[in-house]
Chains A and B, each alone.
Chain A
Amino acid sequence: MSGAKSGAAALRSGFGSTRDLLPRWAWILIFLALALLFPYVVPEILSGGSGDDLLDASVNTLGYVIMALGLNIVVGFAGLLDLGYVAFYAFGAFVVGWLGSGQFEGVNLDFITDVPSTLPGIHVNFVVIVIVAAAFTGIWGVILGAPTLRLRGDYLAIVTLAFGEIVPRVFENWEYVSNGRQGITPIDRVYFPGVGELNYPIELEGIYYVGLAMVLITLFVNIRMRDSRLGRAWIAVREDEVAAAAMGVNLVRTKLWAYAVGAAFGGFAGAFLGAYRNTVNVDQFEFGFSVFILCMIIVGGMGNVAGVILGAIALSMLDRFVLPQLNDIPDKIGLSFDLTAVNFGIFGFFLLVMMVLRPEGFIPSTRRRLELHSGDEVGDAAADRSAEVAPGEALYEARH
């Protein structure tokens, strides 16, 4: 155990000294360049059809990164364990279903699209849709968050879980808005004036950049909010609710803002994924998805933006690309099942192992550093060498 610990410490200081090699803006530029060049470089190197699979997985990953960053606001910053995040994915996805398809046959409304105006239904430009989706979902975040304000710890987790189960059930049974189990399909393609309609089941580069732009917006808002007065209030509430209240933090407003902003990003990403997958279906919105996103945060390092992004990329690539590629391994060793069929078992195993062995995640949040130099680290991939976070210490509120 102690060997593992000193190894981890060495890894951390390794991160630190690598980080210090270049100034911050240079790192930002390097990562941005990597992300921009990715669709033209990496998939080309891969042989066969797996390049397209990789790009498809990457587009999905971008959506998941937004969701993980959104959930990180609720769970990582404000310390409210939300097990029903899938509800916000559902709201966002249904907004794109309502405003960008022929679902409502009685209405005929077009706004900056190149859908033929004879087609029934509401067809609104994607940019408008994502803004509406984020706002709509944010409002629902407040509505679903309000009853949980008095609750703490595991009770809060269960109530959010119950909401996460109720919302998809309501959508499933209310056929007028959701089309029941068949779901809403097809969804209008993303369209920009001057660029035209993106041709994404065939060429994925365009939609990749749309997703990347959305991730960058999310990242910017996330970091700015974390370092704002509100963000510091979130962290104070996470550390000690009573002390925060005594220091003048308005608990109700702080928590509701966390729910609203976290949910808004869920809707933001939900609209993107709904449009990209061309279908909005209640089967997508199950409890396992909430845990999948939570798993990204825990594996990466709760509360740390860089850790969460890394965790989200690692797990969604594992889910969308690595597991399908390795699908026949159990078959080769004489077991008759698909690896993709047990994906949630694998994530469950990660949750278990991470919580027992390294509950602070791979890249732990450097709370002390943040408190000492707030606004000093943007996209920071390193941990404070002096602040060894003991396993499990101050991960959530320390009392019950």
Chain B
Amino acid sequence: MGRRVATALWQNILWIGLSAWVLYYLVQSPTETLGDIKTGFSNGTIWALIALGYTLVYGIIELINFAHGEVFMIGSFVAVSIWAWLGISSRSSTLVIIAGIGGVLVVSMLASGSLNVMIERVAYRPLRNAPKLAPLITAIGMSFILQNVGSLWYGLPQQVPDLIGSQRTLFSLLGVDVVRSDVFAIAVTLPLLFALIFFIGQTRYGKAMRATAQDPDAARLMGINVDRTIALTFLIGGLLAGAAGLIYALYNGTVRFNQGFTAGLIAFTAAVMGGIGNLKGAVAGGLIIGVVQSISDDQYGQQWTEAVVFAILIMIMVFRPEGLFGEEVRPG
């Protein structure tokens, strides 16, 4: 009996450690930590959207799409460029701003989505039957190419017009001010998540994706066009990354060409935390990482946050590679 309890404790050591860590700061400085949790959740929606792209792709071809962070960065850049080109700023009328955000959201999602499909075609499809690490290396190459494209596009950090009045307080809850950017991030993310769940769970294409993830050979025998299904997966991942890029631009107020590398690693941590291949896990992982980040920003200073997130990544990979919620990839 005691032994079983001990095993259960050991297996959930990361859960326990994480909750204890959050609880400690919650008791020590309640209001501050509640504020961190709020910021973490809204920031975490961005990581969740990116993490979904990793997890979808990993679920279907067991590849870490290393260039995914750069796809997200390009989404941000497309949005910022179009706003600059159309001259939309915070002084434009409300109607123009709403139309501008809505229209640009669609455009940057499509741009990132088609970019991701193109990456798949150029860098991964030729290596479909190669050893598993070969596409990982081309993915790194692709990521570097895109980062340089970004640095030629905007060499310096680029200011984003504050279209949503991001720091304006909407309401207060338990002494925590909820600002517009929080609401904006969640308001854009939630419909996308529901659309994704519907698409994967209810449509023919979603069924084809699940079948391919389970067993590509059997799926092919059942008449599923596996190559097209994989391209579709990349398209969806890219669409979500494009949306994340737009949210990130408005949420943070600046974009820069190397934002994709860090964001990609953070989101990958989230995907692994949720159990790679597990969609709900990726969302939960994104939110948890967001909270960890903002508490760490507050308590240890921003310069340590990256190291904290990477340390968590290592601990999960070493102690619980199936993630906190269990992974959903094909056996063997």
Contacts and interface: CB of A to CB of B under 8 A. Distances in A.
B131 A151 contact: no
Interface string B303-315: 1101100110110
A400 B304 contact: no
Given A153-B132, A153-B133, A158 B64 contact: yes
Interface in B101-136: 122-123, 126-127, 129-136
A155 B317 CA distance: 7
B143 interface: yes
B300 to A, nearest CB: 9
B279 to A, nearest CB: 20
B22 interface: no
Given A337-B152, A345-B145, A348-B143, A158 B313 contact: yes
Residue of B62, B145, B261 with most partner-chain A CB within 10 A: B145
Contacts of B140: 83, 291, 294, 348, 351
B170 interface: no
Contact of A342 (B134, B138, B152, B272): B152
B144 interface: yes
Contacts of B304: 169, 173
Q: Which of B122, B132, B137, B155 has the most CB of A within 10 A?
A: B137
B137 A159 contact: no
A152 to B, nearest CB: 9
A159 B132 contact: no
A351 to B, nearest CB: 3
B303 A169 contact: yes
Nearest to A155: B317
B151 interface: yes
B123 A356 contact: yes
Could you tell me the dominant secondary structure of chain A's interface residues? helix
B313 A162 contact: yes
Contact of B317 (A151, A287, A356): A151
A158 B309 CA distance: 13
Contacts of A392: 127, 129-131, 134
Interface in A155-198: 155, 157-159, 161-163, 165-166, 169-170, 172-173
A173 B304 CA distance: 8
A343 to B, nearest CB: 8
A398 B133 contact: no
A396 B132 contact: yes
A111 interface: no
A395 B131 contact: yes
A348 B142 contact: yes
A162 B141 contact: no
A349 B145 contact: yes
Interface in B258-277: 261, 265, 268, 272
A392 B132 CA distance: 10
B151 A342 contact: yes
Contacts of A288: 144
A232 to B, nearest CB: 21
Contacts of B143: 348
Contact of B138 (A148, A345, A351): A351
Contacts of A308: none
A341 to B, nearest CB: 7
A64 B141 CA distance: 20
Contact of B133 (A157, A291, A345): A157
Given A157-B136, A342-B148, A352-B123, A173 B303 contact: yes
19 contacts: A151-B317, A153-B132, A153-B133, A154-B133, A157-B64, A157-B133, A163-B314, A166-B307, A166-B310, A287-B261, A341-B152, A341-B155, A345-B148, A351-B144, A352-B123, A355-B127, A355-B130, A356-B126, A356-B127
Please provide the 6 A-B residue pairs with the shortest distance between their CB atoms, ordered closest to farther: A348-B144, A345-B148, A351-B141, A352-B141, A392-B130, A348-B141
